[in-house]
Amino acid sequence: MGEAPAFVSDDLFGKVPNEIGVKVIGHQTATSVGDRTYVIGGTDDESSSTIGVWILDKSNKWTTPSVLGMLPKPAEGHSAVLVNEDRILVVIENNSSNNCFWFLEIDTPFVREQKQKLGGEVVAWSRGVLGDVGKPIVISGPSGVGKGTLISKLMKEFRSMFGFSVSHTTRGPREKEQDGVHYHFSERSIMEKAITDMKFLEFASVHGNLYGTSVEAVEVVADAGKRCILDIDVQGARSVRASPLEAIFIFVCPPSFEELEKRLRARGTETEEQVQKRLRNARTELDQGKSPGLFDHVLINDDLEGCYARLKELLGLDKDGISLHTTLPESVDLPRVHSISKCGQRVLINCGQELDASSNKTFVLDLSSLKGGALGRTRGLHVHVMKSSEAGTNGITMLL
């Protein structure tokens, strides 16, 4: 078992304040990865305090990378350990489990892609979450195909298992609409910046107003232990597919175009001009729905109950309505950390008071089932907690 390839430095920046361009405060760690050292520490840029990241190369040149994702707040202390050569686990001390594990991605596929786009050094933060939640579900299909009815049946039967994300819009709230309930109402400049910062999975301009689904809105549903359902058009599905979000993509289509037209006309709520417009859009969506690699599954809604049964099967729901793919999130409180080490896909975090060994605990963090990542959450972490009396060689070996 080796110690984490990281060290703590209180004066690492003493010789290079001008190159960094910000005031570095508090605790810092440095993690060596090949010929680079990634330094993580608190900063104070006069507008807000946050955790900063800098890169020191073998020629002793400092670089400040572009930092993507939601940033952790600075704390009294943190520890860092390299994970799989492409990301660094950062453990924030004196915090609850929903805010103490963070990943700094340094060479993941997402980061490499952003380096090419931005033409410079890039890192990305992602908050680690204990436990597993099923992948979000993207459901698309032309108007009148019955996807809304299928989703309604799913929500009614499994209300505690599925949830909708709350979309963002730049239009003003209508009567009785509540911010954060019906929509997240946003100023246009703020939403445009968030789109530029890649914080949206998909967006569109409708009648001069922006509408979109943010990464955070989807993650909030998962944080509640629910699988998020996204009811979006094919273009929106294409945008989500191009994002880092891992989701299940389902396209619902009619048994024939003639049947779809029959269903649309049976509504009796639209003019002939509106029906023709929907039919034109439907034909386009049906063609786009055949795009290779866009959708994982295609459901033909020739019979509502039969189609609904196939949908439940695709989502891993057994006959009793229990998901076969969900583990309820765990929760721990992480006290002060005074050592951290890594062995394979396990990280040992020793916590407590150095002068009172009897109260110390060892947390064994299992990283073997990580899912997701920037710009959302990194999920699939599992933790085992042992008191100091249990954390001897035999106890740790059993968990490792």
DSSP 17-84: HHHH-SEEEEEEEEEEETTEEEEEEEEE-SS-EEEEEEEE-TT--EE--EEESPPPPP-S-EEEEEET
Q: What band does 130 get if pLDDT is binned at 50, 70 and 90?
A: confident
Q: Are residues 381 and 364 in the same domain?
A: yes
Higher per-residue confidence, 134 vs 238: 238
pLDDT (tens digit, 9 = 90+) per residue, 18-37? Answer: 455 555 555 788 899 989 99
Single residue among 288, 314, 340 that ends a domain in this structure: 314
Q: How confident is the model at residue 11 (pLDDT cuts 50, 70, 90)?
A: very low
| Out of 20-24, 56-60, 207-211, 365-369, least confident range | 20-24
Domain-located, residue 68:
yes
pLDDT at 140 over 50: yes
Residue 237's domain spans which residues?
Answer: 137-314
Question: Are residues 208 and 246 located together in one domain of the fold?
Answer: yes
List the CATH number of the domain containing 176.
Answer: 3.40.50.300
Q: Which residues are catalytic?
A: 174, 267, 278
Whether residue 309 is found in the same domain as residue 366: no
Interval 149-173 mean pLDDT: 91
pLDDT category, 94, cuts 50, 70, 90? low
Assess whether 206 and 292 both reside in one domain.
yes
Looking at residues 342-370, what average pLDDT do you find?
Answer: 77
CA 144 to CA 226: how far, in whole Å? Answer: 27
User: Is residue 88 a part of any domain in this protein?
Assistant: yes
Task: Please give the DSSP secondary-structure letter assigned to residue 225.
Answer: T
Q: Residue 321 above 60 pLDDT? A: no
DSSP class of residue 6 equals E
Tell me how many domains the chain contains: 2
Section 228-235 average pLDDT: 90
What long-range pairs does 48-54 form, CB within 8 A, spacing at least 24? 49/25, 49/73, 49/74, 50/74, 51/78, 52/22, 52/24, 53/104, 53/123, 54/13, 54/20
Length of the chain in residues, anyone?
Answer: 400
DSSP state of 358: G
Q: Are residues 221 and 77 in the same domain?
A: no
**Do 23 and 37 belong together in one domain?**
yes
Residue 294 predicted with pLDDT over 80: yes
Of 26, 131, 117, 82, the residue nearest 341 (C-alpha) = 82
Asked if residue 382 is part of any domain, the answer here is: yes
In a shared domain, residues 143 and 115: no
The whole-number pLDDT of residue 326 equals 45
d(CA 268, CA 250) in angstroms, rounded, equals 28
Domain end, chosen from 314, 336, 360, is at: 314
Residue 14 has pLDDT above 50, yes or no: no
Give me the chain's average pLDDT, please.
Answer: 81
Q: Is residue 45 in a domain?
A: yes
CA distance 220 to 237: 19
The verdict on 192 and 176 lying in the same domain is yes
- Give me the pLDDT at residue 261, please: 85
**Confidence at residue 198, expressed as pLDDT on a 0 to 100 scale:** 87
pLDDT at residue 279 tops 60: yes
* The last residue of a domain, from among 286, 314, 342: 314
Q: How do residues 240-259 score in pLDDT, each as one tens digit?
A: 998 888 899 999 999 998 88
Shared domain for 125 and 239, answered yes or no, is: no
- The answer to whether residues 200 and 306 belong to one domain is yes
Q: Which residue has the higher pLDDT, 390 or 163?
A: 163
Q: Is residue 320, in this structure, part of any structural domain at all?
A: no
The answer to whether position 173 is within a domain reads yes
Instruction: Write down the pLDDT at residue 192.
Output: 95
Q: Which of 70, 57, 237 is nearest to 137 (CA)?
A: 237
- Is the pLDDT assigned to residue 382 strictly greater than 60? yes
pLDDT at 112 over 50: yes
What is the pLDDT averaged over residues 221-249?
Answer: 90
Q: Residue 46, Cα to own-chain centre: how many angstroms?
A: 29
The answer to whether residue 319 is domain-embedded is: no
Judged against a pLDDT cut of 90, whether residue 185 lies above it is answered with yes
Q: What is the helix (H) or strand (E) element at residue 115, kind and residue range?
A: helix 109-118
Identify whether 322 is part of a domain: no
Mean pLDDT within 366-372 = 88
Q: Is the pLDDT of residue 12 over 60?
A: no
Paired with 396 in beta bridges are none
* % residues pLDDT > 90 (the chain): 34
Binned at pLDDT 50, 70 and 90, residue 334 comes out as low
Same domain, 123 and 179: no
Indicate if the pLDDT at residue 293 is higher than 70: yes
> Which class for 153: exposed (0-12), middle (13-18), buried (19 or more C-beta within 10 A)?
middle
Task: Answer yes or no: do 90 and 186 share one domain.
Answer: no
How far apart are the C-alpha atoms of 258 and 94, rounded to whole Å? 63
